[in-house]
A and B are shown apart, each in its own frame.
Chain A
Amino acid sequence: MSRTPRLPSALLRAAACTGLAALTLTACGSGSGTDTAGSGSGSVKVGLITKTDTNPFFVKMKEGAEKAAKADGVQLMTAAGKFDGDNAGQVTAIENMVAAGVKGILITPSDSKAIVPAIEKAKAKGVLVIALDTPTEPESAVDALFATDNLKAGELIGEYAKAAMKGKTAKIATLDLAPGVSVGVQRHNGFLKGFGIDDKDPSVVCSQDTGGDQAKGQTAMENCLQKEPGINVVYTINEPAALGAYTALKAKGREKDVLIVSVDGGCTGTQAVKDGKIAATSQQYPLKMAAEGVKAVVTYAKDGKKASGYTDTGVTLITDKAQDGVTSKDTAYGLENCWG
C-alpha cells in the first residue's frame, strides 16, 4: 500500500522552519511570510477529518479528496485523531478548521455521539458538514451523509455464505468490531439477516470483538476454535480480522474447510480473496465518498446549495467462487477498484 503523502513545498519549508525555530526563527519568519496560503487566500477551503491518518482506508479517502480538490481548484486541509476513538482530537480539528475559514468539513466521526456538539457549533457558523463512512447519532446532526450501506454490505456476504453452505449445518463464528459502534453493528446484523437467522440462533456459536485488528482477530479465532472446534463459517468485520482468523485456522489445519466472509475491499483483502484465503468480501469505495464530499462543498461555495440526506456510495460483492442467485464480481474487477 502506498502511504506516502505528497509534501507540498510550503509544508516542507514549514517543517524545516519549525525545526529551526528554537534557534533562529527570524530568518524563517520573514522567508515564508508571503507564501502561506499556497493557492491564494481567496480560494475555497475544504476540511477533511478522518479517524486516524495511518489506516489505508482513510489514506485512500484523503487521496480521493486531494484529487477532487485539485480538479475543482479548492484548497484541502486535513486532520485526524491520534487513535480510533479520539473524539477530543477531532473536536480540536473542527475548531481549527472553522478558525481557518473552511467552507465545508468532511468528517468520519470517531465517536458518533460525542462529536455532535462540535459539529453543531461549526454549522452555526455557516460551515457545511458532511459525514463520510460513519453516520453521526442522530444522523441529522450533519447536513449530509456519504457512506456505504453497511447493512447491505453485511447482507451480501450473509446471502453468499448461505448459498455456499447449501443446507449444510452451519456453525458460525462472528468476529466483530466493538460494542456500540454503528458500522460494526450494522454489518453484523446485515450478515445475520442475509443468512436468514438472528443473534439467538444456535448456529452462531461464538462472537468476539476484534477492533478490526489482525492480531486480535487471530486471538479471537483461536479462542472460538477452543470453544467450538467445529466452526465452519466465519463472519469478519473487515479483512485484517479475516486474515487473522485465517492464520488461526491454518495453525489447526482447518483453512480449507472453513468459509470466511468479510467486508471492506481493500487491496490486501481483495488479493486474499483471489488467493482463496477469504471466500468473499463486500467492497466499499472510500475514494468516492471523499470525492463526492469535496464536490458537494464546491457546489455549496458556488451557489449556496447544501447537500442533504444520505447518499449510498455503493457496495459490490467480490468473489471468484460465484454462487447461483447471488450477484457478484470477480477479483479482477475487485483488484481494479480496491483501496489501500
Chain B
Amino acid sequence: MTATSTPPSTSSPYAELKAPTTARRLLTAPTTGPLVALLLACVFFSFSTDQFFTGGNFSLIVQQVMVVGTLAIGQTLIILTAGIDLSCGAVMAFGSIMIAKMAAEGSLPPLVAIALGIAVCGGFGLLNGLLVQKIPLPPFIVTLGMLNVAFALTHIYSEEQTVTNLPGPLTALGQTFPLGNTDITYGSLVTIALFLLLAYALSSTGWGRHVYALGNSQEAARLNGIRTSRLTIGVYTVAGLLYGIAALLLISRTGVGDPQAGQTDNLDSITAVVLGGTSLFGGRGSVLGTFIGVLIVGVFRNGLQLMGVASIYQTLITGVLVILAVTVDQISRKKAR
C-alpha cells in the first residue's frame, strides 16, 4: 500500500471509450469504494504519525481484527442470503468458554476440546438455520433469541469466572513467527486463509452462485431448481463453524477464556460487512469486501490511537463511515440499473 499507486484505468477517458463495460464494472464493483477508502486512510495515517507505516504495525492491525474478521465471514454469508445474524458474538463467547473450560479444568485433551467447541458453535448455526428455514421465522428474531440464549449459557457455564492457565495448544495461534523483521501471528494467517477460501467458494463454485441467487430472490432460486432450504441451513451452519474458529482465535489472542467477550461483536461484524460494500438486502457483495471492511475499522482505530485521538471519536468516525458506505451502495445500485 503506497501513496503513489494509481487507481486502475478508470481515470483515463480513453479507457472508458474503448472498454466501457470494464470501466463501468470497476466503478460499480461494490469493493472499489471501500478499497479506495482504506488506501486513502492508510496514506493519511502514514503522513500523520511516524509509527503507522511499519510492518510491525500492519501485523498488529491484522491481529487486532482477526476475531471480528472471522465472525464477519460468517456474517457475510448470511447477509448475502438476505439474512442477518445477531448471535455471532455470543455464540463465539460460548464456544470460547467451552473450549477453555473443558481443556483447562476438564480432563479433555486440548485438541478434542477445540473440536467440540467448534462443533457446538456449528450446532448453534444449524439451529439458527433450521428455525429460519423450517418454521419459518425471520432471521432477525431467531438470532436475537439465540443471542440471549448463548449469552446466558456462557455466564451459567462459566459461573462468571474467567478461565486462566490454559494449555499450550489453545494459545498456539496467538504465537508469532518472524517474517523479515516483523512478527506475524499464526492466527492472522488462519483468518486470511479463511477469507481466501470463502472468496473462492463464493465466486467459483456452484454453491457460491446459488448463495447469491438465493439472496437475490429465494422464489426465483427455488424455481430454478436450487434446493433453497438445504442451502439456507447450510449457510447458517458454515457460519456457526466459522464462529467456532473465531472462538479459538479469541482465546489464542487474549490467552484466557472470558465470559464477557464478544458483546458488541455482532454489530461490529455487521459494520465490517456493510463497510465492505455488501448489501444488507442480500445477493450483492463479497467476503473480500468484508476483509477490507474490517481492515478499515482496524486501521482507523489504530491510526487514531497512534495520533492520540480519544477512543470515542473512533466510534464517531466508524458511524460516519457506515452511513457513507450504505449511501455509496445505494447510489451505485441506481447507476448499475
Closest to B54 in A: A99
Residues from chain A with a CB closer than 8 A to the CB of B250 are 88
Does A249 sit within 8 A of B, measured CB to CB? no
Residues from chain B with a CB closer than 8 A to the CB of A79 are 305, 310-311
Residues from chain A with a CB closer than 8 A to the CB of B90 are none
Does B316 sit within 8 A of A, measured CB to CB? yes
Q: Contact partner of B307 among A10, A101, A178, CB < 8 A?
A: A10
Determine whether the beta carbon of B258 is less than 8 Å from that of A87. yes
Cα-based distance from A15 to B49 in the complex (angstroms): 15
Q: Contact partner of B260 among A96, A99, A110, A179, CB < 8 A?
A: A110
Cα-based distance from A4 to B256 in the complex (angstroms): 35
User: Interface on chain A toward B: helix, strand, loop, or mixed SS?
Assistant: mixed
Does A163 sit within 8 A of B, measured CB to CB? no
9-residue interface stretch from A22-30, A187-195, A321-329: A22-30
Determine whether the beta carbon of A38 is less than 8 Å from that of B37. no
Residues from chain A with a CB closer than 8 A to the CB of B162 are 111-114
Determine whether the beta carbon of B161 is less than 8 Å from that of A180. yes
Q: Contact partner of B311 among A33, A45, A93, CB < 8 A?
A: A93
Cα-based distance from A37 to B324 in the complex (angstroms): 29
Residues from chain A with a CB closer than 8 A to the CB of B261 are 87-88
With A79-B310, A114-B162 as known contacts, state yes or no: A15 contacts B316, CB within 8 Å.
Answer: yes
Does B41 sit within 8 A of A, measured CB to CB? yes
Does B279 sit within 8 A of A, measured CB to CB? no
Residues 166-195 of A contacting B (Cβ, < 8 Å): 178-180
With A85-B260, A117-B255 as known contacts, state yes or no: A96 contacts B47, CB within 8 Å.
Answer: no
With A53-B312, A117-B256 as known contacts, state yes or no: A18 contacts B305, CB within 8 Å.
Answer: no
Closest to B161 in A: A180
Determine whether the beta carbon of A87 is less than 8 Å from that of B260. yes
Residues from chain B with a CB closer than 8 A to the CB of A123 are none
Residues from chain B with a CB closer than 8 A to the CB of A97 are 305
Interface size class of A (residues with CB under 8 A): 35 or more
Determine whether the beta carbon of B305 is less than 8 Å from that of A100. yes
Does B1 sit within 8 A of A, measured CB to CB? no
Does A204 sit within 8 A of B, measured CB to CB? no
Determine whether the beta carbon of A80 is less than 8 Å from that of B311. yes
Cα-based distance from A45 to B51 in the complex (angstroms): 13
Determine whether the beta carbon of B264 is less than 8 Å from that of A36. no
Does B308 sit within 8 A of A, measured CB to CB? yes
Cα-based distance from A45 to B49 in the complex (angstroms): 14
Residues from chain B with a CB closer than 8 A to the CB of A17 are 44
Does A77 sit within 8 A of B, measured CB to CB? yes
Does B141 sit within 8 A of A, measured CB to CB? no
Cα-based distance from A113 to B256 in the complex (angstroms): 8
Closest to B52 in A: A99
Determine whether the beta carbon of A77 is less than 8 Å from that of B308. yes
Residues from chain B with a CB closer than 8 A to the CB of A21 are 37, 40-41, 44
Determine whether the beta carbon of A22 is less than 8 Å from that of B33. yes
Cα-based distance from A45 to B300 in the complex (angstroms): 20
Does A205 sit within 8 A of B, measured CB to CB? no
With A85-B263, A95-B64 as known contacts, state yes or no: A19 contacts B320, CB within 8 Å.
Answer: yes
Cα-based distance from A104 to B255 in the complex (angstroms): 22
Does B219 sit within 8 A of A, measured CB to CB? no
Residues from chain B with a CB closer than 8 A to the CB of A22 are 33, 36-37, 40, 321, 324, 328
Does B144 sit within 8 A of A, measured CB to CB? no
Residues from chain A with a CB closer than 8 A to the CB of B260 are 85-87, 110-111, 114
Q: Mark B284-327, 1 if CB is under 8 A from A, else 0.
A: 00000000000000001110111111111101110011001000
Residues from chain A with a CB closer than 8 A to the CB of B49 are 36-37, 100
Cα-based distance from A82 to B162 in the complex (angstroms): 19
A43 to chain B, nearest CB (A): 11
Does B127 sit within 8 A of A, measured CB to CB? no
Does A83 sit within 8 A of B, measured CB to CB? yes
Determine whether the beta carbon of B310 is less than 8 Å from that of A25. no
20 A–B contacts, CB within 8 A, in A order: A14-B48, A14-B313, A15-B313, A15-B317, A22-B33, A22-B321, A22-B324, A25-B41, A25-B43, A53-B311, A82-B264, A86-B263, A86-B264, A88-B67, A88-B258, A91-B253, A99-B306, A101-B51, A114-B260, A117-B256
Supply 7 further A-B pairs (C-beta < 8 A) apart from A17-B44, A18-B320, A45-B308: A18-B300, A21-B41, A29-B43, A87-B258, A88-B261, A114-B162, A179-B159
